[in-house]
Structure 1
Amino acid sequence: MLVTYLEASRDLCETDSILFGAALAVCRIIGAKVSTAGRATGHSSAIPAWRRRIEERIAKARALIGRLICFRSGNNRPRIVRTVRMAFAGTNVSLSQPDITQKLTERIDDLKQRIAAWGKRIRRYTERSTRFNQNRLFQSDQKRLYESLERPMVSGTGPAPNQADTVAFWRGLWSEPVNHSEGPWTEVVASQCAGITPMDPVIITPDDVAEAVLGPRTGKVRGLTECITTG
């Protein structure tokens, strides 16, 4: 197998990966302990152990969902069947019972809910960690914080869209007549709002904007609402 993979190798990096994978497989077969710390990325050490455990659970759950879906679709290979039996171990579910399809669907939904819960836990930690780091950076170096919050402008690098296709797409959405069926609640809302006096239009001139933005404090920028109300 190693000869076959090496003959198909296209560059030095791929050859290195093939040789490393073969050496690692041999070490696992003979039971030798191998340290892969030298090949790890610099970011792996910064990931907490509990997060790595959760990500491993998510990966295993997704793999199990894939095999359950394969079995539900009619794939009866021995490895798939063995995995499905392990998924229902400790329960009274038999693979030959009539409602096995429903049981498979319930098990898949349960795994999806667990994956969603684990993902929310990781997101909560990430958001809390981000807020903590931003607060600490605000106390030490506000300039760096504001620079980190600036989002780079995204410019399209691909080909420009065809004008005729763009016009045809939006014309199909906005030019076709549509008959909306309004519910009775719209008439109730219209009758309740009939006696409301419309607000006078707000006209903002360039002089108003110039007067509102003059004289801000150092390091402060007035927001849109503050500029309008001040002007």
Structure 2
Amino acid sequence: MHRLFAELEPSLTVTEQNLADRVRYISRSNIFDVTELERLRREAVPSSDENATAEDAAPQMVEQPANVDAAVNTPVVVDSNDDGTVAQELELEHMRSTLEEAIVETRSTPLENRPQLPCIALSKRNWAVVRALNPMLATYLEARRDLCETDSILFGAALAVCRISGAKVSTAGRATGHSSAIPAWRRRIEERIAKARALIGRLICFRSGNNRPRIVRTVRMAFAGTNVSLSQPDITQKLTERIDDLKQRIAAWGKRIRRYTERLKWFNQNRLFQSDQKRLYESLERPMVSGTGPAPNQADTVAFWRGLWSEPVNHSEGPWTEVVASQCAGITPMDPVIITPDDVAEAVRRAPNWKSPGLDGLHHYWLKGFMVCHSVLARQFQEALNQKSLPTLFTTGITHLVPKDQGTTDPSKYRPITCLPTI
């Protein structure tokens, strides 16, 4: 890579390590999506891929081979081009049937019961599946007049990509309520600690003379697999040793949680330093408030925010509005807004891949990959702008309340953040 860079830019002096660091930063920060990186590569080295320009000029071609590994359980045909690269053509009929099944399933599934789409790996293999399904969507999208139908088709296509590539899709539906932010590994360790503490309590009860059947049964299970009998004369010493052993295990598990938590915090800080140093320094100066305290009452929260959002308000405009209207009478009205497919493509290109979606569960990544939808979305956006109306789906979102203070139950001390559909 360093040799090639020196040939392309002989006037610049850069070390191999510096060049590798810059490439790593660009890859991790997601400044450019896969399509943009491919275009930059072809501009820098036009002779490396003679078919690149033809591929850009006709993205709807179905028979375009993909220089990637084939999808899981999908037969491939291996061939070699003039450059010596390996081209593998995916089984289109299998993919088309999977796409059809996913779209039909999505249409018949209520919005709240849609499966949760995973964040798939940004690999050439997955991108090849997206590119192969992209021209197939033209048949489904060309006759659609409604934004909700377009959103449903795109979600079905995303679901088909996940199934073809073998990504794990949650079939339990997307939960719109409170989700646990505690990782699975920590929950497992905390469950072990809770069970050990309960066992310690029963062992202490038995040592103090409590011989109830439940206590005795628990003590026998604690010494199962050993040569210890409850009728031994030194059973009190054995109980003490067992209790001390459990206490040491609890201390070790607690230390493991603290160590893992510190390691996770350092990892996130290092990753944030690579992508946004300003945000890292701000988080160090003003630590984020975590909502670990009791949650506010749901009825009080709904009543408070309904008073701000849902109650009609009668505003009495003063005479100053007439003065402003007379001053603006001579301003030339702006030209009508025309939304083009290029506008949609540019907006999608700058959007984060896996930003939290709204009720529909569709991420920006799929809008980037299914480029055939850009012209359809531009037309439907223009119609919505002319009619001055949007479907209810695109004005409804999932609102999360972020606490401003530590451990507060006052609904006014929470900041609402609403996730609208990415479209």
After superposing the two structures, state which structure 1 stretch, 196-205 or 14-23, moved more.
Answer: 196-205
Mark the CA change 1:78 to 1:154 in structure 2 (over 3 Å): closer, same or farther.
same
For residues 187 and 219 of structure 2, the distance between their equivalents in structure 1, rounded to whole angstroms, comes to 25
Shift of 1:208: 58
Aligned length: 225
After superposing the two structures, state which structure 1 stretch, 2-11 or 65-74, moved more.
Answer: 2-11
Do structure 1's residue 55 and structure 2's residue 190 form an aligned pair? yes
Shift of 1:98: 1.3
Cα deviation code 1:155-205 (max 9, x no counterpart): 999999999999999999999999999999999999999999999999999
Cα deviation code 1:119-144 (max 9, x no counterpart): 22222211111001011112222222
Cα deviation code 1:13-61 (max 9, x no counterpart): 9999999999999999999999998998977554333322222111111
For residues 288 and 217 of structure 2, the distance between their equivalents in structure 1, rounded to whole angstroms, comes to 51
The structure in which a higher percent of residues are strand is 2
Contact 2:289/2:405 (8 A) holds in 1:
no
Contact 2:290/2:406 (8 A) holds in 1:
no
After superposing the two structures, state which structure 1 stretch, 192-201 or 148-157, moved more.
Answer: 192-201
Contact 1:94/1:100 (8 A) holds in 2:
yes
After superposing the two structures, state which structure 1 stretch, 71-80 or 22-31, moved more.
Answer: 22-31
Runs of at least 5 residues in structure 1 that lack an aligned partner in the other structure: 214-219
Contact 2:293/2:407 (8 A) holds in 1:
no
Mark the CA change 1:64 to 1:87 in structure 2 (over 3 Å): closer, same or farther.
same
The structure in which a higher percent of residues are helix is 1
Contact 2:140/2:153 (8 A) holds in 1:
yes
Tell which has more relative contact order, 1 or 2 (C-alpha 8 A, sep 6+). Answer: 2
After superposing the two structures, state which structure 1 stretch, 111-120 or 198-207, moved more.
Answer: 198-207
Q: So what's the TM-score if we normalise by structure 2?
A: 0.26
After superposing the two structures, state which structure 1 stretch, 55-64 or 36-45, moved more.
Answer: 36-45
Mark the CA change 1:123 to 1:195 in structure 2 (over 3 Å): closer, same or farther.
farther
For residues 247 and 292 of structure 2, the distance between their equivalents in structure 1, rounded to whole angstroms, comes to 36
Shift of 1:206: 63
Mark the CA change 1:229 to 1:61 in structure 2 (over 3 Å): closer, same or farther.
closer
Contact 2:296/2:409 (8 A) holds in 1:
no
For residues 2 and 11 of structure 1, the distance between their equivalents in structure 2, rounded to whole angstroms, comes to 15
After superposing the two structures, state which structure 1 stretch, 13-22 or 118-127, moved more.
Answer: 13-22
For residues 212 and 60 of structure 1, the distance between their equivalents in structure 2, rounded to whole angstroms, comes to 52
Cα deviation code 1:40-95 (max 9, x no counterpart): 89775543333222221111111101111111111111101110010001111111
Contact 1:54/1:118 (8 A) holds in 2:
yes
Partner SS, residue 409 of structure 2: helix
Partner SS, residue 80 of structure 1: helix
Contact 2:200/2:243 (8 A) holds in 1:
yes
Mark the CA change 1:38 to 1:88 in structure 2 (over 3 Å): closer, same or farther.
farther
Mark the CA change 1:152 to 1:2 in structure 2 (over 3 Å): closer, same or farther.
same
Contact 2:293/2:408 (8 A) holds in 1:
no
Mark the CA change 1:202 to 1:53 in structure 2 (over 3 Å): closer, same or farther.
same
After superposing the two structures, state which structure 1 stretch, 85-94 or 4-13, moved more.
Answer: 4-13
Mark the CA change 1:43 to 1:200 in structure 2 (over 3 Å): closer, same or farther.
closer
After superposing the two structures, state which structure 1 stretch, 151-160 or 1-10, moved more.
Answer: 1-10
Contact 1:138/1:145 (8 A) holds in 2:
yes
